[in-house]
Amino acid sequence: MTATESVPRQNLTAAELHEIDRYWRAANYLSVGQIYLLDNPLLREPLAPGHIKPRLLGHWGTTPGLTFVYAHLNHQVRRRDTELMWIVGPGHGGPAAVATAWLDGVYSEVYPDVGRDAAGMRRLFRQFSFPGGVPSHAAPETPGSIHEGGELGYALAHAFGAAFDNPDLVVAAVVGDGEAETGALSGSWQSVRFLNPVRDGAVLPILHLNGYKIAGPTVPARIPEEDLLAQLRGHGYAPHVVAGDDPDTVHRSMAGALASCLERIDTIRFRARHSGSSVENVRWPMIVLRTPKGWTGPRTVDGQPVENTWRSHQVPLAAPRENPEHLRQLEEWLRGYRPGELFDDDGAPRPGTTAVVPRPERRISGSPHANGGLLLRDLLLPDLRDHAVQVTRPGVEKAEATRVLGGFLCDVVAANPRNFRIMGPDETRSNRLDAVFEATDRAWTTGRLPVDRQLSPDGRVMEVLNEQLCQGWLEGYLLTGRHGLFNSYEAFIHIVDSMFNQHAKWLKVSRDLPWRRPVASLNYLLSSHVWRQDHNGFSHQDPGFIDHVVNKKPEIVRVYLPPDSNTLLSTVDHCLRSRNYVNVVVAGKQPQFNYLPMDAAVAHCARGAGLWEWAGSEDGAAPDVVLACAGDVPTLETLAAADLLRRHLPELRVRVVNVVDLMRLSNEGEHPHAMTDREYDTLFTRDRPVIFAFHGYPWLIHRLTYRRAGHPNLHVRGYKEEGTTTTPFDMVMLNDLDRFHLVMDVIDRVPGLGVRAAGLRQHMRDERLRCRAYTREYGEDAPDIRDWVWEH
């Protein structure tokens, strides 16, 4: 490919052009109205300061580009009856999304109080960015949107996620030229290398070069155009350039370009599906749209150029209430769209204004894919018991928990071949979920070699070394009504902290919108966790994603730390059935003890936190000390500590409590899963020392429990940011989470024990030294540590 894909001769009739332009003008009018007007929506009176909102909040600059794209999408959808949804990358152009949904009639169906009449239009304008009204972005409140676009960068990732396994869908994704500078967006172009034209829908990127971001030009708009096109071609696209500032010319060119893109998509599909064409290295069409930022808005304000500069980004006329010249310019601007021609005397769009809107089922703003819960079907899940490990005695046999889970997931993949995917940054095998490759491959639609294994265009495991893309794809996939799992190293999941934030916020708001139907939860499986970074060391040690997650609304977030294989199975089974949550599951991939047979595991997970009678030595009386634990490695150390205590201090009554569902701990009333105080007191006591061995940063446990009666007696050990490449036991010792230190903690905290157990305490210190010295000499853990089993 050496030149721009040439746009076929335009075939827009004058009438069609007029229709599109009229819709565009209407949408622009409604957008400006939203940003500025409190009243006088149809300009039936001369505009007066009292009609203007006191606070002008919103973004004009991006809006005319979005309405332009939408008007043209409408035209094509109506002509071709394409199943199409759109993603608004610059979501701050919220007015465009709202205006078009209102014009299509969808808005008033969803929000009947905002009708398509003068009163409705007044409400439409007033509510925008107004207290008690609607947000300024393409938020969950906006029909037709699965993408808020507040935090820029995820437009293409969401679009591809929506397109996967939706073979008839076209997802048009507007990408801002500022947005295109982000890492997330830059890494998203390669998504096309994972798209299979046989089973997947198409994504039509529309890179909107309006030239500017907030305060300056953008890189893609200012580099030589041949450089930009070379990049896009290199990513696997055939770009069509549409450029200009004269509406008629750009209308014609856009209509031609869009038509030929959709044509091309049909051809690609047909060839791949019916003529056996290769699905590899398909060159997908896309559009580069170069139009002025703030197009059709004020050219100059206060003597400064505004249209086609960054100055149009937010509110081009800053003070029409105070400044009569601004007011005049605003009125001129609004009247320039000729509202009388667009809306009838009742304020409803005249038929000609919406002539371009497709039949009701095809309206873009009404796409069911944008309210994925409507399309959601339950997963077919295998019987857990078929995958359970046999546990004859606790703490003796070992299994790799994620490997066991892999078998279960293999069945899930097999039973749900069209609506379940596993995402991961090249770690599915490293995280020991290999068994899934018995049922499927990795998705891959570019070159393959004979040496390759588990790679095919039909693979349902999506591996790309890009956590943002994994997350974005999965979000798009879930929000359009499907299911999935994201497996990642625990430390690097922080790469998507901010994306998780946005998704959790989306879910929080969606829950309160009755018309948004529940979607499948976003499930994280974090493995290769902090305690077992044998190959990598300090940079790979960070259990803090949980801390990050629990800052979000309790209604949305769930955190699980299953201690063994069967509890992991039960947990994931539960997560895959849940809706509207973010579930974080942390589980090890290294051989670890099995503790609970399947039935007991299910019961333990249902409890979320429970007594392990077999491990303690309470003997019916109240315990002297509680050893609590959460996470596989802390559970091991806790049991080993309990073992030491039973041997060395047989008279001490020890209770062992294991926590799977972290939110059970949180202060009464703060999380739907929180235990009552009575329950907590029964389990942890109000007055006995509790030595808590925790997988993550210790203070998280304090933050959850500070209101519990027993909190002053709670002593938590966890990761305190000490680590390197060393042995597993050295890692726990570095952080004072080891069995010996836990015994020392017991001695220090149980009243009366200190002096009496001085010898044992000293012995424990010596044991730590011995174990450390052993690692320094032999490079591995001492045999008694490696070979320890639960013997009681």
Ligand X SMILES: Cc1ncc(C[n+]2csc(CCOP(=O)(O)OP(=O)(O)O)c2C)c(N)n1
List residues near Mg ion by CB under 5 A.
176-178, 210
- Asked if residue 293 binds ligand X (CB under 6 A), the reply is yes
Residue type, 708: R
Q: 63 vs 371, which CB is nearer to ligand X?
A: 63
Is residue 462 within 8 A of residue 423, CB to CB? The reply is yes
- Asked if residue 492 binds ligand X (CB under 6 A), the reply is yes
Q: Which of 208, 245, 258 is nearest to 8 (CA)?
A: 258
Phi–psi pair at 406, nearest 5 degrees: -55, -40
Q: 356 vs 771, which CB is nearer to its own copies?
A: 771
Partner in contact with 9, chosen from ligand X, its own copies, Mg ion, none, beta carbon below 5 to 8 Å by kind: none
- Asked if residue 505 binds ligand X (CB under 6 A), the reply is no
* Distance of alpha carbon 306 from alpha carbon 313, whole angstroms: 9
Element (H, E) at 443: strand 442-443
Q: 313 vs 589, which CB is nearer to ligand X?
A: 313
User: Which residues between 201 and 230 bind ligand X (CB under 6 A)?
Assistant: 208, 210, 212-214, 218
Element (H, E) at 630: strand 625-630
Torsion sign, CA atoms 6, 11, 12, 14: positive
Query: Is residue 676 exposed (0-12), middle (13-18) or buried (19+ Cβ within 10 Å)?
Result: exposed
Site string for ligand X, 580-609 (x = CB under 6 A): ------------------------------
Partner in contact with 235, chosen from ligand X, its own copies, Mg ion, none, beta carbon below 5 to 8 Å by kind: its own copies
Query: Is residue 330 exposed (0-12), middle (13-18) or buried (19+ Cβ within 10 Å)?
Result: buried
Residue 153: CB minimum distance to its own copies, A? 8
Partner in contact with 444, chosen from its own copies, Mg ion, ligand X, none, beta carbon below 5 to 8 Å by kind: its own copies
Partner in contact with 277, chosen from Mg ion, ligand X, its own copies, none, beta carbon below 5 to 8 Å by kind: none
Partner in contact with 61, chosen from ligand X, Mg ion, its own copies, none, beta carbon below 5 to 8 Å by kind: ligand X
Q: Which of 310, 354, 396 is nearest to 591 (CA)?
A: 396
Q: What angle do CA 521, 486, 700 make, to 5 degrees?
A: 75
Residue 300: CB minimum distance to ligand X, A? 19
Is residue 439 within 8 A of residue 450, CB to CB? The reply is no
Residue 459: CB minimum distance to ligand X, A? 17
Among 31, 62, 471, 685, binds ligand X (CB under 6 A): 62
Q: 455 vs 789, which CB is nearer to its own copies?
A: 455
Among 33, 41, 58, 61, binds ligand X (CB under 6 A): 61
- Asked if residue 426 binds ligand X (CB under 6 A), the reply is yes
Partner in contact with 78, chosen from Mg ion, ligand X, its own copies, none, beta carbon below 5 to 8 Å by kind: none
Q: 69 vs 747, which CB is nearer to ligand X?
A: 69
Count of other CB atoms within 10 angstroms of residue 672: 10
Partner in contact with 466, chosen from ligand X, its own copies, Mg ion, none, beta carbon below 5 to 8 Å by kind: its own copies
- Match 């109240």 to its residue by tokens: 622
Residue 79: CB minimum distance to ligand X, A? 27
For the record, the structure tokens of 72 come out as 């043209």
- Asked if residue 475 binds ligand X (CB under 6 A), the reply is no
Q: 93 vs 201, which CB is nearer to Mg ion?
A: 93
Residue 258: CB minimum distance to Mg ion, A? 20
Q: 499 vs 587, which CB is nearer to its own copies?
A: 499
Residue 468: CB minimum distance to ligand X, A? 10
- Match 């020991």 to its residue by tokens: 432
Phi–psi pair at 628, nearest 5 degrees: -110, 155
Partner in contact with 406, chosen from Mg ion, ligand X, its own copies, none, beta carbon below 5 to 8 Å by kind: none
Rg (CA), the chain: 30
Partner in contact with 191, chosen from its own copies, ligand X, Mg ion, none, beta carbon below 5 to 8 Å by kind: none
* Count of residues interacting with ligand X (CB under 6 A): 27
The residues facing 203 across adjacent strands are: 171
Residue 463: CB minimum distance to its own copies, A? 6
The residues facing 301 across adjacent strands are: 304
Residues 6+ apart with CB under 8 A from 184: 153, 154, 157, 468, 469, 472, 499
Q: 427 vs 475, which CB is nearer to Mg ion?
A: 427
Alpha helices for 37-173 (secondary structure H): 63-80, 94-104, 106-110, 118-127, 155-163
Which region among 175-183, 367-375, 555-563, 718-726 touches ligand X (by CB under 6 A)?
Answer: 175-183
Among 179, 624, 643, 738, binds ligand X (CB under 6 A): 179
Among 5, 177, 411, 463, binds ligand X (CB under 6 A): 177
CB-side neighbour CA atoms (13 Å) of 437? 18
For the record, the structure tokens of 415 come out as 């039973």
Strands (E), 185-257: 202-208, 237-243
Partner in contact with 58, chosen from ligand X, its own copies, Mg ion, none, beta carbon below 5 to 8 Å by kind: its own copies
User: Which residues between 136 and 155 bind ligand X (CB under 6 A)?
Assistant: 150-153
Partner in contact with 718, chosen from Mg ion, ligand X, its own copies, none, beta carbon below 5 to 8 Å by kind: none
User: Which residues between 550 and 579 bind ligand X (CB under 6 A)?
Assistant: none
Count of other CB atoms within 10 angstroms of residue 216: 11
Element (H, E) at 171: strand 169-176
Residue 288: CB minimum distance to Mg ion, A? 13
Residue 381: CB minimum distance to ligand X, A? 29
DSSP SS3 for 119: helix
Cα dihedral 459/465/471/473 (nearest 10): -40
**C-alpha to C-alpha distances, 427 to 65, 248, 399, 490, nearest whole angstrom:** 40, 51, 19, 11
Residue 78: CB minimum distance to its own copies, A? 32
Count of other CB atoms within 10 angstroms of residue 768: 17
Residue 412: CB minimum distance to ligand X, A? 24
Q: 94 vs 476, which CB is nearer to ligand X?
A: 94
Residues 6+ apart with CB under 8 A from 252: 10, 12, 17
Q: 211 vs 634, which CB is nearer to its own copies?
A: 211
- Match 């304000």 to its residue by tokens: 301
Q: 292 vs 634, which CB is nearer to Mg ion?
A: 292
Q: 137 vs 574, which CB is nearer to ligand X?
A: 137
Residue 301: CB minimum distance to its own copies, A? 14
Q: 25 vs 59, which CB is nearer to ligand X?
A: 59
Which region among 177-185, 613-621, 634-642, 708-716 touches ligand X (by CB under 6 A)?
Answer: 177-185
- Match 């105080």 to its residue by tokens: 677
Residue 700: CB minimum distance to ligand X, A? 24
DSSP 308: T
Q: What angle do CA 457, 400, 600 make, to 5 degrees?
A: 115
Phi-psi region of 668 (alpha: psi -120 to 50; beta: other; left: phi over 0): beta
Residue 778: CB minimum distance to its own copies, A? 6
* Distance of alpha carbon 411 from alpha carbon 188, whole angstroms: 30
- Asked if residue 415 binds ligand X (CB under 6 A), the reply is no
* Distance of alpha carbon 785 from alpha carbon 625, whole angstroms: 24
Partner in contact with 454, chosen from its own copies, Mg ion, ligand X, none, beta carbon below 5 to 8 Å by kind: its own copies
Residues 6+ apart with CB under 8 A from 574: 605
Q: 307 vs 767, which CB is nearer to ligand X?
A: 307
- Asked if residue 529 binds ligand X (CB under 6 A), the reply is no
Q: Kindly list the residues in this chain that would bind ligand X in the complex (CB under 6 A).
A: 61-62, 90, 92, 150-153, 176-179, 182, 208, 210, 212-214, 218, 293, 313, 425-426, 465, 489, 492, 495
